[in-house]
Structures are given as C-alpha cells and as structure tokens.
Amino acid sequence: MAWPPAPRAGVGYSHGMDEAQQVPQTRQQPSGTRARLTAALKGRAGFIVRWLAERGVKPNHVTLAGLGITLAAVPFIAMGWLWLGGLAFLLGSALDGLDGELARHDDAPPSPFGGVLDSTADRVGEGAAFAALAAHFASFNGWLDGFTDALAGPMTLELGGDLTGASALAAGATVLALVGGNLTSYVRARAEAAGAECPEGLCTRLERVSILGLGLLLHQPVAAIYVLIVLTFATAGQRLWGVRRELG
C-alpha cells in the first residue's frame, strides 16, 4: 500500500496494510497462513490491478475511493444495518489494499506523498468505523433514535437518558479496541524509525479488518470488539518485546 522504489538488497519498505508511516527498514517477512493468504489475495488482485492501470487510474485515486467506500459504511453501522455496513467496510478495505499493487505496477516515479495519504486513509477509515459502532451501541437506549427523529422533523434533539450498563460497556470497549489497533501501528512505526526490525505479531491490519468486518456481517459486533481488544494489545506487547530485545 505504499509507493516504494525498488528496494536495495536486504532493505524493504513499509507497504502493508498495518503501517502508520512509510520508512525504509529491514522487514521481517510474513510466514505461514498469513503469507499464503497474502499471496492468494495478490494473485486474485492481479487482473483488477492491470485493468485499472490500463485505464490510467493512479494509486492515490484507489486510496481515496477505498476511503470513500469505507466511510459510506458509517451510517449503516450507526443505524444498526450491520451486515450492509460490514459489507461496505470490507469492500472499501479491500479496494484500499490495491493501491500498493497498482503503485508497483505503475512505471511512474514513486510518490512519497502516496504512502502518507494511504496511512492517513487507513487511520481515518478505521476510526470512523469504530465511532459508528460506538454510536450503534449507544442507540440501544434511544440516543440515536432521538437524533434520527430530529433529522426527520424540527431540530429539537434531546440527549436525555442514560446508557444501559451493557451498551455503555460495549461502547467503551469499542474505543479501547480502536486504541489497541492504533497502538500496534504506532509501535511498529516508532520501532522502524529507530532502525529496529519489528515483528508482525498476532494481529496486523489484515486481521483487524477481517475480524471487524466479519463481526458486522454476522451481527456479532460485541464478540468482534472483545477479540480485537485482546489481540491488538497482545500484538503491541509482542512488538514492544521484540524491539526491546533488539535495541537492548
């Protein structure tokens, strides 16, 4: 998902779906199931990438289109149409994953701005989806109903009433899951800026997007949120420990 020039021997560039910034580094290659899945996805995307390149579509266009589709999922999630929101979220995330492949297919000089735009779009899309899910949990006690009623009639929105214990806990957990996801990306970015090789860990952006998207499609958002909390904070700790061992 970055816009890297051809790397020197032994040096890679951050171009995965999990990066908060793009910096040169020695990158530990994914292995096992994740590597096979990534290879399979790239193989399926080859035709789409060639089709886009032949029509002059640029990586930044794909990045912005993926972000737009992801943001389109927000009202569906907030209003409780979880399967439709999950479908849009997964589609936007998948489209966003094509920009790096398109950049490598393009003969144009690499664009440093593209990597910054891509990472920014990732954070905005994830943050918006989690915010929509928190709003959905809050709506269990009528908060969102009041908002939609206000849109349909006179603007007399009243934010009265308290969240129930379960919905308040779910909304808070959603924020915590978002913090965990951002933390994993931040730890890696800071480690690589310091010249350390950061391990992939248990839960990269690919896993985060898949877990949240499937949780929405299956109408199990609470389960997805708690799984994400455990995996993201475990991944952040795993990465910190790996960097600590390397840097001393």
Tokens read off for 48: 């789409």
CA distance 193 to 197: 10
- Each residue of 37-50: pLDDT tens digit? 666 666 667 777 77
pLDDT at 76: 96
pTM of the model: 0.75
Q: Is 131 exposed, middle or buried (0-12, 13-18, 19+ CB in 10 A)?
A: middle
Residue with tokens 């094509």: 98
- Each residue of 171-204: pLDDT tens digit? 999 999 999 999 999 999 999 899 988 888 889 9
Q: How far apart are the first and last CA of the chain?
A: 31
The 3-state DSSP class for residue 4 equals coil
Ranges under pLDDT 50 in the chain: 1-26, 141-161
Of the candidates 122, 145, 149, 162, the residue annotated as catalytic is: 122
Residue with tokens 């904070």: 233
CA distance 26 to 7: 10
Contact between 187 and 198 (Cβ < 8 Å):
yes
pLDDT at 31: 55
| CA-wise closest residue to 106 among 58, 63, 66, 64 | 58
Domains and CATH numbers, the chain: 33-247 (1.20.120.1760)
pLDDT at 123: 93
- Each residue of 73-90: pLDDT tens digit? 999 999 999 999 999 999
The 3-state DSSP class for residue 2 equals coil
pLDDT at 43: 62
CA distance 200 to 210: 16
Is 122 assigned a catalytic role?
Answer: yes
Query: How many CB atoms sit inside 10 A of residue 12's CB?
Result: 17
pLDDT at 41: 61
